[in-house]
Amino acid sequence: MNNWPFARADELIILAYLVFALWIALRYRKQASRSFSDFILGGRSLPWYLAGLSMVATTFAADTPLWVTEKVAQHGVSGNWLWWNMLIGGMLTTFFFARYWRRAGILTELELLEFRYSGKAASWLRSVRAVYLGGFLNLVILAWVNKAMLVIISVFFDMTESEALGWVFGLMAFVAAYSALSGLKGIVVTDAVQFIMAMTGSVVLAVVVLRQPEVGGLSGLQQRLPQWRLDFFPSFSSQPDQLIGAFSISIGAFLSYFTLQWWASWYPGNEPGGGGYISQRMMGSKTEKDAVHASLFFQIAHYALRPWPWIIVALGALLLYPGLGLEDSSKGYVLAMKDLLPAGLKGLLFVAFLSAYMSTISTQLNWGAGYLTHDLWGRFAISVKDASRERKLVRSSRVFTLLLMLLSMPLTARLGMIDEAANFLIRSGAGLGLVLILRWYWWRVNAWSEISATILPIAGMLLSTYWLENALGPEFVAANGSFYFTVAFTTLGWLLVTFLTPAESEATLSRFYQKVRPDGIWKIGGQRKAHFNVFRLIAWLMAVVLTYSALFGVGALLLHPGSEWMYWTLSAVISGSVFIWAFRKSEHAAAL
């Protein structure tokens, strides 16, 4: 192949990595086959560091550095607030839900629905969610990640994306094979190695980019790029964002980030109260403490450790490839890998992206197959009295793993349509988050509360899009009025439904309360119980301040000359000290 970009050293690195992944799959194959719990939760044996590293590795998808590069090209560093704002809700999961997910003793997120609720409504909701989350939405995510790998391979090998499809499908088939063999334990062990490789590769590429004459190091970035590209915070404007320029948002949009969005919205990977692969890792942890520590490590690493190598490369790509348009800006990251790295390092960086891709795909296949098996197929097609039920569940999970892989392939080739559907689905989750939080803390929430909170956002979004936005004009849109309306519409609606429908039975509530021992307001045995661990609240708030301080302290040291980094460091030290005190107090109170 004339456009083959790798030397022998690169080929050996890539081959060694693929052999390692296959060896891990074979190493854990027998353990994964013992029971469905071993396949889907690793036998609940994950130490906090493996569970936490796996969470971070999964969110380090092949598409993430490319998306960050595109946002930096569009709005500078401050464009990352589109995901930085999610830290608040992520830390909420750490301190208020991680312990409960592990304590509940369930196998999947969706099993909670028939543990917390009862009757046909709960059964119906669980089945629908299994198809929606484990099937449709999971396929959308798989297609997103495949699309990023298409870009990487097409740029690396000078192919069209159509020509690169075969390569991606072959790679995905390899991932599906080792995921089906190894189960979660093998995936988590592989994830830990993949994350280390991906982070090492990201740092190496950032250093190489900074050394280019067109960039001129950190001082070159500061001198050759306009200041707005280096600002950490968006500007405030009453006008909608321009296509390219400083990230500007209205006061209303800013308030929605920090007062509503982190708890009111549901979106994959950052569900209020935990969910998806995050809850899967928490449920698979050795102990409740491991679940909490894993989630805490994930949040800090995800927001404070990982972003800057990506951002440095994205800023450098603006100087290295000034001719790239906005639509092709994400390719700047891949072009830097291809053009600047010598033999050996090029293979290492390509393996880093393979690692990021494989960790995400393997996780999506594993938990998606778990939903379809445990929460749908296994409930209706495999009798609980069947002596071989566990073996059949494991076998079914492996079949669903391969089926999800096959179904995602044609969807990858039609990503444009899927992207529109995904945007619709994410927007239509506004207002659902509060139910997912309060079901752990308030006895009055019932199955109909969650059903209505799932349906009403779609109606609210349609009303605001096709009526209010036309009636109230661009100022309503710029102020994020549609989001506010949908949240209010959904919240009032599900609260009304809650009080118009009967509460869950005493037996259901008592079973849940005795097992999970949650804080909040509960009516058990005719008595009201109300208690709340205030130290968790303090630890949560201080952990948010600590993580943001670390994020911006490192950024100021890299991009902002002067003493700004010292103020962020002082903030991190103070908030960190208070956090450690409150966290220890909250852990002690939880153990009583």
Percentage of residues of the chain with pLDDT beyond 70: 92
- What is the separation of C-alpha 23 from the centre of its chain, rounded to a whole number of angstroms? 27
pLDDT of residue 592: 56
Query: Distance between CA atoms of 53 and 398, rounded to whole angstroms?
Result: 24
Q: What is the per-residue pLDDT across 269-295, written as a single tens digit (0 to 9) for each?
A: 678 888 888 999 999 999 999 999 999
User: Is a pLDDT exceeding 90 seen at residue 359?
Assistant: no
24, 194 Cβ separation under 8 angstroms: no
Tokens, residue 223: 């001198």
| Domains contained in the chain, CATH given | 13-379+386-427 (1.20.1730.10)
Tokens, residue 28: 């854990």
Q: What is the maximum span of the chain, computed from C-alpha positions, in angstroms?
A: 77
Mean pLDDT within 374-395: 89
pLDDT of residue 49: 95
Mean pLDDT within 184-207: 88
User: Is a pLDDT exceeding 90 seen at residue 265?
Assistant: no
Q: Which of 565, 465, 560 is closest to 227 using CA atoms?
A: 560
Residues near 275 by beta carbon (within 8 Å), at least 6 away in sequence: 109, 436
User: Is a pLDDT exceeding 90 seen at residue 160?
Assistant: no
Query: Distance between CA atoms of 464 and 454, rounded to whole angstroms?
Result: 17
Question: Where would I find the beta strands (DSSP E) of 140-257?
Answer: 235-236, 248-249
Mean pLDDT within 49-70: 87
Q: What is the per-residue pLDDT across 128-155, written as a single tens digit (0 to 9) for each?
A: 999 988 998 888 888 888 888 888 888 8
The residue behind tokens 């088939």 is: 173
Q: Which of 362, 346, 78, 65 is closest to 230 using CA atoms?
A: 78
User: Phi/psi of residue 45, each to 5°?
Assistant: -120, 15
Question: Where would I find the beta strands (DSSP E) of 25-80?
Answer: none
Least confident residue range of 249-253, 259-263, 503-507: 249-253
User: Rounded to two decimals, what is the model's pTM?
Assistant: 0.89
Percentage of residues of the chain with pLDDT beyond 90: 45
Least confident residue range of 79-83, 318-322, 350-354: 350-354
* Residue 346 backbone zone (phi > 0: left; psi -120 to 50: alpha; other: beta): alpha
Q: What is the per-residue pLDDT across 488-511, written as a single tens digit (0 to 9) for each?
A: 999 999 999 999 999 999 999 999
**H/E run at residue 85:** none
pLDDT of residue 341: 83
546, 580 Cβ separation under 8 angstroms: no
Least confident residue range of 196-205, 378-387, 464-473: 464-473
Strand partners, 531: 520
Query: Distance between CA atoms of 303 and 554, rounded to whole angstroms?
Result: 12
CA atoms within 13 A on the CB side of 403: 14
Query: Distance between CA atoms of 376 and 378, rounded to whole angstroms?
Result: 6
211 residue type, one letter: R
DSSP-derived letter for residue 80 is G
Q: What is the per-residue pLDDT across 105-119, written as a single tens digit (0 to 9) for each?
A: 999 999 999 999 999
Q: What is the per-residue pLDDT across 391-443, written as a single tens digit (0 to 9) for each?
A: 899 999 999 999 999 999 888 877 665 445 555 666 677 888 999 999 999 99
Least confident residue range of 234-238, 272-276, 462-466: 234-238
User: Is a pLDDT exceeding 60 seen at residue 242?
Assistant: no
- Does residue 562 sit in helix, strand or coil? coil
pLDDT of residue 386: 83
291, 282 Cβ separation under 8 angstroms: yes
pLDDT of residue 268: 67
Mean pLDDT within 340-344: 82
pLDDT of residue 429: 78
User: Is a pLDDT exceeding 70 seen at residue 445?
Assistant: yes
Is pLDDT larger for residue 162 or for residue 35?
35
pLDDT of residue 479: 62
User: Is a pLDDT exceeding 60 seen at residue 241?
Assistant: no
- Does residue 164 sit in helix, strand or coil? helix
* Residue 285 backbone zone (phi > 0: left; psi -120 to 50: alpha; other: beta): beta
User: Is a pLDDT exceeding 90 seen at residue 25?
Assistant: no
DSSP-derived letter for residue 285 is B
User: Is a pLDDT exceeding 70 seen at residue 590?
Assistant: no
Mean pLDDT within 262-274: 78
pLDDT of residue 191: 87
Is pLDDT larger for residue 440 or for residue 242?
440
**Range 121-153 burial, b when 16+ CB lie within 10 A, else e:** bbeebbbebbeebbbebbbbbbbbbbbbbbbbb
Tokens, residue 462: 């349609």
- Report residue 83's pLDDT band, with 50, 70 and 90 as the boundaries: confident
